A and B are shown apart, each in its own frame.
Chain A
Amino acid sequence: MNRNTDTDIILAKINQGDDDAAVELLYAKVFPLVKKYIIKRGGNKEDVNDLFQDALIEFYKMVGDQKYDARYKVEAFVYNLSIHKWLNKVKRDQRMIYKDDLETSFEGYTEAEKPEYLFVGKEEALLDGLFMKIGDKCKELLSYTIFNDLMMEDIVIRMGFNSVAAAKMQHQRCKQKMLDEINAHPEILQKLKGL
C-alpha cells in the first residue's frame, strides 16, 4: 500500500516512543485544517482545541489497542475523527447542521466514549510515581510490548539488548517490578480491582 510520507513518519515516531514529535507533526499538519473547518461553521477556539485533543487521544488509544485501521492515512484519520466529533457535538447541542456535512462519512467508525481514566487530576501523580519507581528502561520496554505491540526482535535492536532471551528476561523483571509496585500501593490496587 502506498502511504503518504507523513503517515510513515508519524507512525515511525509513535513506534519509536517519540510522541512529542508525532503530536507536533499532527498539530502542524492537521490542526489548522480542523480549525478552519470548525471555525467556518460557527465553532470557537475552545471547541477546536478540545475536539482535536479528544481525537488525538482516541487515535492513540486505537493504536494502543491494536485497533487502528491501516486503511486510513494517519492525518486523514485524525482529521475525520475531529470532524466527526464536531458533528456529533453539533447534533447534541441541537444546532444547525450544514447539508453538505451530512454526506461526510467515516466508514466503519463509531465514536468511542471518552477514555475512562482511572487516575484523574492529582491522582495522575500516583501513576507517575509508580512509573518513576520502575525506571525509564522498564517503562520504555513495557510501552513497546504492550502499547506498540513490537516484536521482541525489534525491541532488541531499539533498546540494545544482547539477545531476544535477554529482552524477554528483562521484560519479565519489569512486569514483576510493576506488580510489586501495584501491590505496595493499595490505592492503585483498589482502582484496578474495581474494574
Chain B
Amino acid sequence: MNLADRDLWIKKYTEGRLSPEEKATFESLLQGDAGLAQEVQEYGMIARLVKEQKLIQIKNIAARTQARQEQAALRKKVLIGTAVLLGLLAGAWLGYNLYENNKPQDTLVPKIPEIAPPDFKKQTSDTPEELPDPAVTQTTLLPKPSKEEVGYVSDVDTVKISRAMPQTHEALVTESTGKPSVTAQHPPEQVIPKDGCAGVQLKAEIHSSPACTGKSDGSISIGAPQGGKAPYTVQVFTEQKQLLSQTTGLEAGMYLVLLSDAQQCGTGLSVKVAAQACSEHYSFNPALGETWEIPSQGKKGQLKIVDKKGNLYFSRNLAFSEVAHWDGKPNNGEVKTGYYLFYIQHEDNTIISGSVTIIE
C-alpha cells in the first residue's frame, strides 16, 4: 500500500471497493495500526452523514419539483378551461350577432311622422340654446387613493415584494420619501427573470409574528398578491429548503417567501420570524407533593429563581437532556410560599423567563 494514497485506500475500504487481496492486506495493516483504524472509523461516520444529507436533499428537491409540476398542470387546466369558456362565449356572441343581422325585415312601410316647420319669428326672440362645445371634454376626477391603498411602487423592472411589519417587530428602513423600502435580510435567493416580466410589479404585504424562544408559535402571514397576472403562487420555504404546507406554528428563523404569478414572473424575499422571550407562568403546591418541571427544553444552562425583590432564592445548573424538577426549596432554608420569577439561560444564549408561584 502506498501511504500517499492512504485516504484513497480508506475510502475504497469503507465503500467495499477493494479486491479480496487488497482488502486482506489493508485489514492486516489495520490490526497493527490503531491510528489507521481510528481514521477508518472517522471516515465512515463522515461518509455516512454526507451521503445521508445528500439523499435527504434529493428527497426535498423531488418533493418540490413534484409540487411545482402539479401546480403547473393545474394552471394549465385552468387556462385551458378559461380559453374554452371564452371560446364558447365568443361563439355564442357571434352567433347572436349573425342571427340579428340576418333576421328578415318587416315588409310594412313605416309611417313617416310629420314635422312642423320651425317658427323663425319665435326663434329670434329666444336665446338660442347653447350646443356643447365638442372641444371641451368632460372629465371626472377620480378620488386619489388613500395612503393605505397605495401600493409600494418599484422603480426597477424586476419584481419586488413590499413588506410592512407591525411595530412590535423589527422596523423597516424608511426612506425620506416616506415610502417604506424593502430591506431584505439576504439578497433574494430566487429571481425568475423572464421575457415578458419587464414592468411587472407584484405586491403583497407580508407580516411575521415572532416565536417564543424554544417554541414553534411564530407565523408568517401573506396578504393577497396584486399586480402581475392571477392566479398567483405563494410558496414559503424553510432555510433547509423545505416547502411549508402552512405558515403558522413556525420556529424562529429565516424563511424564504416565493411569489409568482400566472406568467411565472416572481421573486423571493427572506422573512425573519424573530425569537422572543415569552413569559411562562407556573404554580405548584409542594405540601401536596407537587413539584415544578423546569422548562429547560433539554438544553444545558442555568436556572435562577428570585423573589419579588430580586433576591436569589434558588439556582442550579441544568444538564443536556435533563428533565429536572424543583420541589420549591431554596438553596438555603425552608420552602416559602409566594410569587417568584425564574430565569433560564441556555448555553446557546437563549433565555426562558416567567413566574412560578409556590402555593399552599
Q: Which of B62-98 contact A (CB under 8 A)?
A: 62-63, 65-66, 69
Chain A residues with CB under 8 Å of B52's CB are 115, 117-119, 127
> Are B55's CB and A142's CB within 8 A?
no
- Residue of B whose beta carbon sits closest to that of A175: B46
Question: Across the interface, do B48 and A142 meet the contact criterion of CB distance under 8 Å?
Answer: no
Let me know if A117 and B55 touch, CB within 8 A.
yes
CB distance B51 to A27 under 8 Å? no
A156 CB–B CB distance under 8 Å: no
**CA A31 to CA B239, docked complex, whole Å:** 27
CB of A65 within 8 A of CB of B15, answer yes
Smallest beta-carbon distance A184→chain B, Å: 11
A27 touches B65 (CB 8 A): yes
Query: Is A60 positioned at the interface, with any CB of B under 8 Å from its CB?
Result: yes
Which one of A20, A61, A115, A145 contacts B61 once the chains associate, using CB atoms below 8 Å? A20
| Residue A39 at the chain B interface, CB threshold 8 Å | no
Residue of B nearest to A21 (CB): B61
- A19 with B57: CB separation less than 8 A: yes
What per-residue 1/0 map shows which CB atoms of A11-48 lie under 8 Å from chain B? 00000000110011001000100000000000000000
A127 to B57, CA, bound (A): 11
A66-B47 Cα distance, complex, nearest whole Å: 13
Q: B50 at interface (Cβ–Cβ under 8 A)?
A: yes
Contacts between the two chains (Cβ within 8 Å), count: 93
Instruction: Tell me the nearest residue of chain B to A178, going by C-beta.
Output: B46
Chain A count of residues within 8 A CB distance of the other chain: 41
For the complex formed, measure the closest distance between the CB of A187 and the CB atoms of chain B, giving whole angstroms: 8
**Chain A residues within an 8 Å CB radius of B62:** 23, 27, 52-53, 56-57
Task: Contact check, B59 vs A192: say whether CB atoms are below 8 A apart.
Answer: no
Cβ–Cβ contact B54 & A64, under 8 A: yes
Main secondary structure of the interface of A (DSSP, over half): helix
Task: Report whether A56 and B15 are in contact in the complex, using a CB–CB cutoff of 8 Å.
Answer: no
* Contact pick for B48, options A27, A56, A118, CB 8 Å: A118
**CB contact under 8 A between A61 and B49, given known A20-B61, A27-B66:** no
Report yes or no: B61 in contact with A23, Cβ–Cβ below 8 A. yes
Q: Shortest distance in angstroms between B73's beta carbon and chain A's nearest beta carbon?
A: 10
B335 in the interface (beta carbon within 8 A): no
Tell whether, in the assembled complex, residue B55 and residue A57 are in contact, meaning their CB atoms are under 8 Å apart. Answer: yes
In the assembly, what is the distance between CA of A143 and CA of B52, in Å?
A: 11
Interface residues of B in 12-67 (CB under 8 A from A): 15, 17, 42-59, 61-63, 65-66
Known: A53-B59, A125-B240, A186-B320. A23 touches B53 (CB 8 A): no
Q: Is the CB of A192 within 8 A of B49?
A: yes
In the assembled complex, which residues on chain A have CB atoms less than 8 Å from the CB atom of B53? 127-128, 131, 139
* Chain B residues within 8 Å of A178, by CB: 46, 49
- Give A residues with C-beta under 8 Å from B: 19-20, 23-24, 27, 31, 49, 52-53, 56-57, 60-61, 64-66, 115, 117-119, 124-125, 127-128, 130-131, 139, 142-143, 145-147, 149, 175, 178-179, 182, 186, 188, 192, 195
User: Which residues of B line the A interface, CB within 8 A?
Assistant: 11, 15, 17, 42-59, 61-63, 65-66, 69, 239-240, 320
* In the A-B complex, the 10 residue pairs with the closest CB atoms: A146-B50, A128-B240, A192-B45, A23-B61, A53-B62, A64-B51, A27-B65, A146-B47, A60-B58, A178-B46
Other 16 A-B pairs with CB < 8 A, given A53-B62, A118-B52, A124-B240: A53-B63, A56-B62, A57-B55, A57-B62, A64-B55, A65-B51, A115-B52, A115-B55, A127-B49, A139-B53, A149-B11, A175-B42, A175-B43, A182-B45, A182-B49, A192-B45
